[in-house]
């Protein structure tokens, strides 16, 4: 393989280690193998002046991987692009080595928000342990744990560049209110804190475990996740709020997908706007004595009808084994844990 030489040179291997006239250069090549499909070459060129002192260094990085094929779509069994040109993320549609390289260059930090109020603290250990194995591996991560029981947050060993931040918040008597108030808290903390600490926020339920890689392929300005129960359903079957009196109302002839309340995110600014608007809508409902059928999830779905996500995660990213194992599902990355509602809610 012939590599180009540094700027201004004629290039090629023939100049390795030789001086040319009054100036010469040496080349040091580092080869990193990233996964099985991509090679990352980092070549360092060092020029030397005639008296032997180093004068200039140039870095040339090459990325080598299998070329995409326009005539061979990566998946033909599922929709991979919405009509507003937002990619839908399925296994096989992306190369995580390319994406990791791009995000590492930007030194991105991702905030993962979760709420463990009252008895839901019991879910934290498994959640964090599996997140350390599968969530944004190789990237900087802040786990933001909202809880009313900070002393019950388990200590979990973290890899380098990853931190736990415990945020003490109040609880509410009803589980529905706890779920809905997440919007208010995420919007307040986005404005006060997250905006200074992370680039992206990922907002998830806590009664879950990671089961496979969830990486930077999910990141985009604003993303939502297809609900595992409705990805193949018709519009009329979506459990949107159908009462016009609620701010979450979606008419029967509108809407694209039914999104899960338990996995959304985006840049801090986009998440701030989403959570603020949903919280305000819930406060209007409260004043009018109405609560949307699926609480915060109904308001999230209303928001996404009019503010379209720029990326959509397939149900690989939020699966429940009670839904079986359909052929299209090549990975089950983030799984709902079975829970005894009577024992865990309102406790
Ligand atoms: C669905 C949605 C959830 C939310 C809810 C609204 C999924 C997977 N989940 O979950 O995001 O939209 O419907 O009805 O899409 N919590 C506590 N303590 C409590 C109760 C709740 O910390 O006492 C938190 C916790 O982080 C939990 C989340 O609120 O994961 C949602 O509550 P849930 O999981 O009980 O609601 P569920 O399963 O109906």
| Residue-by-residue pLDDT tens, the chain, 347 positions | 233 333 333 333 333 333 333 344 445 555 555 555 566 666 666 666 667 676 666 666 778 888 899 999 999 999 999 999 999 999 999 999 999 999 999 999 999 999 999 999 999 999 999 999 999 999 999 999 999 999 999 999 999 999 999 999 999 999 999 999 999 999 999 999 999 999 999 999 999 999 999 999 999 999 999 999 999 999 999 999 999 999 999 999 999 999 999 999 999 999 999 999 999 999 999 999 999 999 999 999 999 999 999 999 999 999 999 999 999 999 999 999 998 877 777 67
Q: Whose CA is nearest to atom 29 of ligand 1?
A: 179
Q: Which atom of ligand 1 is nearest to the CA of 294?
A: 14
Instruction: Kindly state if the Cβ of 185 falls inside 6 Å of ligand 1.
Output: no
Pair 212, 319: CB distance under 8 Å: no
Token look-up 């979990």 returns: 156
Query: Strand pairing of 334-336 and 208-210?
Result: antiparallel
Just list the catalytic residues: 297
DSSP, res 299: H
Residue from 262, 301, 319, 345 whose mutation best tests the ligand 1 pocket (most atoms within 8 A of CB): 262
Q: At what angle do helices 268-287 and 175-189 cross, to 10 degrees?
A: 140
Q: Which atom of ligand 1 is nearest to the CA of 345?
A: 23
Distance 347 CA to ligand 1 centre (A): 14
Distance 258 CA to ligand 1 centre (A): 16
Pair 64, 38: CB distance under 8 Å: yes
Instruction: Kindly state if the Cβ of 250 falls inside 6 Å of ligand 1.
Output: no
Residue from 122, 205, 274 whose mutation best tests the ligand 1 pocket (most atoms within 8 A of CB): 205
Q: What is the pLDDT of residue 109?
A: 98
Distance 216 CA to ligand 1 centre (A): 24
The span from the CA of 230 to the CA of 261, in Å, is 13
Instruction: Kindly state if the Cβ of 296 falls inside 6 Å of ligand 1.
Output: yes
Phi-psi sector, 28: left (phi>0), alpha (psi -120 to 50), beta: beta
Q: Whose CA is nearest to atom 18 of ligand 1?
A: 117
Beta strands in 184-279 (DSSP E): 200-204, 208-210, 222-225, 263-267
Tokens coding 259: 């999104």
Distance 107 CA to ligand 1 centre (A): 32
Instruction: Kindly state if the Cβ of 294 falls inside 6 Å of ligand 1.
Output: yes
Instruction: Kindly state if the Cβ of 175 falls inside 6 Å of ligand 1.
Output: yes
Q: Which atom of ligand 1 is nearest to the CA of 175?
A: 20
The span from the CA of 73 to the CA of 181, in Å, is 42
Pair 48, 23: CB distance under 8 Å: yes
Instruction: Kindly state if the Cβ of 181 falls inside 6 Å of ligand 1.
Output: no
């Amino acid at each position: 393989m012939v590599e180009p030489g540094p700027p201004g040179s004629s290039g090629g291997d023939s100049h390795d280690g030789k001086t040319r006239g009054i100036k010469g250069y040496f080349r040091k090549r580092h080869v990193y193998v990233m996964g099985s499909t991509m090679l990352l070459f980092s070549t360092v060129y060092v020029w030397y002046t005639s008296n032997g002192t180093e004068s200039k260094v140039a870095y040339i990085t090459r990325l080598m991987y299998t070329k995409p094929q326009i005539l061979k779509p990566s998946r033909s069994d599922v929709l991979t692009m919405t009509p507003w040109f937002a990619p839908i993320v399925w296994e096989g549609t992306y190369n995580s080595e390319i994406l990791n390289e791009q995000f590492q260059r930007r030194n991105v930090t991702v905030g993962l928000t979760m709420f463990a109020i009252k008895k839901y603290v019991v879910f934290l250990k498994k959640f964090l342990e599996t997140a350390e194995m599968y969530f944004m591996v190789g990237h900087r991560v802040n786990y933001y744990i909202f809880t009313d029981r900070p002393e019950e947050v388990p200590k979990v060993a973290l890899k380098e560049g990853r931190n736990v931040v415990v945020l003490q918040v109040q609880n509410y008597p009803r589980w529905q209110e706890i779920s809905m108030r997440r919007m208010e808290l995420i919007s307040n903390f986005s404005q006060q804190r997250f905006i200074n600490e992370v680039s992206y926020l990922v907002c998830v339920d806590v009664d879950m475990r990671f089961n496979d890689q969830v990486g930077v392929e999910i990141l985009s300005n604003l993303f939502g996740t297809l609900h595992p129960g409705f990805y193949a359903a018709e519009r009329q079957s979506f459990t949107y709020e159908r009462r016009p009196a609620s701010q979450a109302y979606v008419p029967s002839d509108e809407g694209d997908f039914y999104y899960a309340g338990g996995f959304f995110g985006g840049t801090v600014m986009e998440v701030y706007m989403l959570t603020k608007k949903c919280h305000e809508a819930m406060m209007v409902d409260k004043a009018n004595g109405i609560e949307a059928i699926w609480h915060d999830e109904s308001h999230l779905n209303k928001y996404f009808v009019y503010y379209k996500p720029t990326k959509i995660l397939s149900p690989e990213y939020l699966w429940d084994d009670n839904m079986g194992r359909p052929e299209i599902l090549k990975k089950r990355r983030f799984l709902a844990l079975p829970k005894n509602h009577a024992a865990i809610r309102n406790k």
